[in-house]
Structure 1
C-alpha cells in the first residue's frame, strides 16, 4: 500500500463516507439499555471526563496513534501504557469512546472465536482448533479480571452460557460440535432439555454448556477503560473521522489525515472494524452489518428467576440470527437477533423499515419465551454495527505490509472478549519483538487480510442481501 493509493482511496470515498456518517447519526438507531444515565454506578460510555475531548486540530505528534475508541482501541492503549508509561499515546475517534459497536452490543461475554469448533478442526487441524478455543476462554477470564483491575463493576454478572436449540438443524449442528469438543478434551458438556430447564424455564431440546462466561455492560467497560487510559496520560480526541493516511518509511512517521488537522506517529493502530472498507484499507473484506436488540423494563422476581436470575445463565440460539437472551444486572431481559442488514447502498427509508420490522419481530419472540413476559413493557430498542468476514475469523495484523501500522477488526459478533484480547496482543507486539521466543502466541486470526468480496459491484451486493434474507427466513422458522 503506497501513500498515493491510500490518499486516492480516501479522497474518492470522502463524499460517500460523509453522507453515510451523517445518515447514520441522524437515523433512529435507538438507545441501548445502558445508555449514559441508565445504569447508576456504572462508568459512562460517552467520554473519560464530563466534557468531550477536543477535535484533532493543526499538526499533532505522538509515539503511538490509536484510531477507534472502542474496546479494541482502548484495550490497545491501556495495555500499551501499562507496559511503557513513557509512551505518548493518542486515541482518536470519529465520534467518542463507545459510540460504535462497543457501546451498542448486548454484553454477552462468552468463549468461541472463528467458525464452529468442528469446522475449525477440519480447517486448521485439531491442535490449532483446541488452542483457538482455549484462547477465547482466556479472553473471557481476562475481561472479568479487568473489571476488578479497573475498579469498575461494569454490570458484571458471572454465570454460564448455553448454546441451545429447538430444531432438527440445530440439534445436528450441536451434535457435531459436541463430538469435536469431546475429541479435543475440552470441557463443553451437552445439556438435556431437563438440565436446561433447571437453569432457564424455556423449553429447548438440548444445548452445549460453556462454563467460562458472564454478562456485563459493554459501554461501561469501554468507559472504564477510557478513564483508566486518561488517568495514565493517554490523550483523547473526539469527533475526528479519519480521512486517510500516508505511511511513513524508514524513520519518517505515518501521517494521519483528519478534517481539521493531522497526526504524525511512529506507530499506528487502526481499530476501526468495519470502517476498513470505507477507508480503503487493504485488509480484505470486513462486512458492516447492522444487528438489533431490545430490552424490557426490569422484571419481577418470578420472571427473573425463570430466565436465569439465580444462575446468571445466558442463552444463545444455535441457529444464526435466531433470538438469544440474557438478564442485565438491573433485571432487564435483553434479547438480540433477527435480520442482519448490509446498509451500504440502502435508502434511509428502507433501512429504517427493516430496523423497525426486526425490533417488532424480536418483541414478538420475546413474549413467547415465557408466560411472565406476555405484558412486560419493552423499554429500549437499538441497533449496532458489527464486522463480519467471509471465513468467520477476525483480522489482527499489519496494513499493506507496513510493520508500524496495525489493523484490528472483524470479530464476527464475538467482539466483547476478543477485542480486549486483540488490543493486548497488538500492545505486546508494539513494544516487544513478536518473533522472539517470549513473543505473543500466533493464531489463525493473526493475519493481515481476510478473504476479499467485491462488494462494490451491484450484483455482489444483491447476492449478499439475498443470503442475509435467507438466514432471516430460516431464523423466523426456528421454533
Structure 2
C-alpha cells in the first residue's frame, strides 16, 4: 500500500493541523425549542437559517463524534449546485415546472454558500470555477451528448452547460484520449473541513449549543435520547445522512455507500503546465464507475471514487481508514485520467459514507404528527444540497409556506432497502456490472452504452 497516511478522518483535517479536539458532551437532561441530531453540513446549515430567521430560538445539536466528522469533513470539495440523478423520478411527487424550479433554486446555493462564507469570515478556499466531465471513449461521449440534450429539453439555461469537443477539452486539461467534455459553469471548489468547522463556529456565535461525544440512542416525538441524557424539543431534525442506519428504526432507510479519496504530494509548476490544469477546474469522467477530483489550494490533486462501494450490514469505516484494494483502484483512476502523475507520492488516503435512498433521490421533509424532520440522500452531492436542505428545513420547522416547501423533493419517502444479504449483493453486483461495462466500452470502441450498465441501473433503481 503506497500511501503515507491512511485514515485519520481525512487529509482536509491534516491540512488544518490535525483532527480537532472535542466540545463538551450533553450535560444531562435539557429542554430546547429545536434539537438537531448530527453536526455536519445539514444540521449546521439548518441551525444557521433557523437562527437567522428566529434569533430567540433555543437550539441544541447533538453529535456522536465532532462537528464535521462524517462526510462533511471528508468529501471531494465540490460545491456544484447539482441536481443528482434523474429529473424524471421527481415527477412522481411534483410537476415538470416544479422539477425545473427545484433545479433553479438548487443552483443558487453556490452563490449562497459564497455569501455566507464571506459574511461569516469562513476561509474555506472557496473558488468559483467550472466542472469538466471528460469522455475517454465514444460511448462515454454519447452519454454526455444525451445528458446535454436532456438538460436542454428541461430548459436548463445554456449558460450553465456547454458541450465541447476533444481538442478543446484536452486544451483545458490534458486527459488522454479525450473525446470531449461536458462543462458545468459556475460551480465552486472548497476545502470542506474548513467550511464545516467554520460553519460550526458561526452557529455557536449565534447561541446554538453543540454537544459532541454524545451518542443518540433513539428519536421519538418530542424527545431525543442519548447516552448522556435526554433532550426534550418541540421540533427534532435528523441530519445524519450516511449514518442514518445507526439510529434504531432507520436501519434500512438510507444505504451508507462508501467513497474514497487519495491526495498526491504538491505538484511542481512544470508538472501543472504539462497537465494543463491551470484554472482549478473540478474534474470528473463519464465512466459508469465514476471519479471526481479537484486541484487543492496547496497544489495537490485529490482524486476520489467508489473503491469498495459497500460494507456488509451497513458497516462503516474506522475514522476514515480505507482498504489497500481501494487505494490501488484510485491510483489506477488517477493514472488513467492523468498519466503525467505517475511517480508522484500519495500523501493521504481516506474514505467515508454517503447516504443513498432506494430511489437515489435526495429528500427533505417534516412529519407534522411527530414534529420530526429530516434531510439527506444526497448521493455524493451534499456540499451544496445540504445548504438547500438547511434553508428548507428552517421553513418547515417554523411552519412557513415558501417557494422551497412546495418543491417535489419535500416529504418524499422512497421504499426501504432490502434486508441483507440482498442489498450487499445488489450494490456489489451493480458496481461489478459497471466495471465490466467500462472495460467492454474501452476495449470495443463502440459508440453506445454497454447493456451491462443498463442492467446495473435496473438492479438497484439508480
Alpha-carbon distance between aligned partners in 1 of 2:55 and 2:19, rounded to the nearest angstrom: 24
Correspondence for 2:237 among 269, 291, 304:
269
How far off its partner does 1:175 sit?
1.7
Query: Residues 463 and 212 (structure 1 numbering): CA distance in 2 closer, same or farther, change over 3 Å?
Result: same
1:149-298 matches, within 5 Å, as 149-183=119-153, 184-187=155-158, 188-203=161-176, 204-247=178-221, 254-281=222-249, 285-298=253-266
In the other structure, the counterpart of 2:12 is: 34
Alpha-carbon distance between aligned partners in 2 of 1:329 and 1:140, rounded to the nearest angstrom: 18
Alpha-carbon distance between aligned partners in 2 of 1:132 and 1:79, rounded to the nearest angstrom: 19
How far off its partner does 1:355 sit?
2.3
In structure 2, the gaps of 5 or more residues are 1-5, 443-462
CA deviation string 1:408-444 (max 9, x = no partner): 111011101001110111112222422xxx4534322
Alpha-carbon distance between aligned partners in 2 of 1:307 and 1:57, rounded to the nearest angstrom: 53
Describe the SS at the equivalent of 2:55: coil
Q: Does the CA contact (< 8 Å) of 2:255 and 2:314 recur in 1?
A: no
* TM-score normalised by L of structure 1: 0.83
Alpha-carbon distance between aligned partners in 2 of 1:107 and 1:205, rounded to the nearest angstrom: 26
CA deviation string 1:330-380 (max 9, x = no partner): 11101011434222438999xx99721111121133134335312111101
CA deviation string 1:43-96 (max 9, x = no partner): x873xxxx5222123211111111100000000011111111111111110101
Length, aligned pairs only? 434
Q: Does the CA contact (< 8 Å) of 1:290 and 1:386 recur in 2?
A: yes
How far off its partner does 1:133 sit?
2.6
How far off its partner does 1:169 sit?
3.2
1:43-442 matches, within 5 Å, as 46=20, 52-116=22-86, 126-183=96-153, 184-187=155-158, 188-203=161-176, 204-247=178-221, 254-281=222-249, 285-307=253-275, 309-345=277-313, 355-399=323-367, 402=369, 404-434=371-401, 438=402, 440-442=404-406
Query: Residues 123 and 397 (structure 1 numbering): CA distance in 2 closer, same or farther, change over 3 Å?
Result: closer
How far off its partner does 1:477 sit?
6.1
How far off its partner does 1:111 sit?
3.0
Q: Does the CA contact (< 8 Å) of 2:95 and 2:408 recur in 1?
A: no
Q: Does the CA contact (< 8 Å) of 1:115 and 1:391 recur in 2?
A: no
How far off its partner does 1:321 sit?
2.7
Q: Does the CA contact (< 8 Å) of 1:29 and 1:384 recur in 2?
A: no
In structure 1, the gaps of 5 or more residues are 1-27, 248-253
CA deviation string 1:103-136 (max 9, x = no partner): 0101012132232457768996643443233223
Alpha-carbon distance between aligned partners in 1 of 2:84 and 2:94, rounded to the nearest angstrom: 11
Describe the SS at the equivalent of 1:402: coil
Query: Residues 366 and 450 (structure 1 numbering): CA distance in 2 closer, same or farther, change over 3 Å?
Result: same
How far off its partner does 1:259 sit?
0.9
Describe the SS at the equivalent of 1:34: helix
Q: Does the CA contact (< 8 Å) of 1:286 and 1:388 recur in 2?
A: yes
In the other structure, the counterpart of 2:448 is: none
Please give the root-mean-square deviation of Cα atoms over the aligned residues, in Å.
3.0
1:467-478 matches, within 5 Å, as 467-475=430-438
Q: Does the CA contact (< 8 Å) of 2:25 and 2:211 recur in 1?
A: yes
Q: Does the CA contact (< 8 Å) of 2:366 and 2:397 recur in 1?
A: no
How far off its partner does 1:194 sit?
1.5
Describe the SS at the equivalent of 1:408: strand
Query: Residues 45 and 475 (structure 1 numbering): CA distance in 2 closer, same or farther, change over 3 Å?
Result: farther
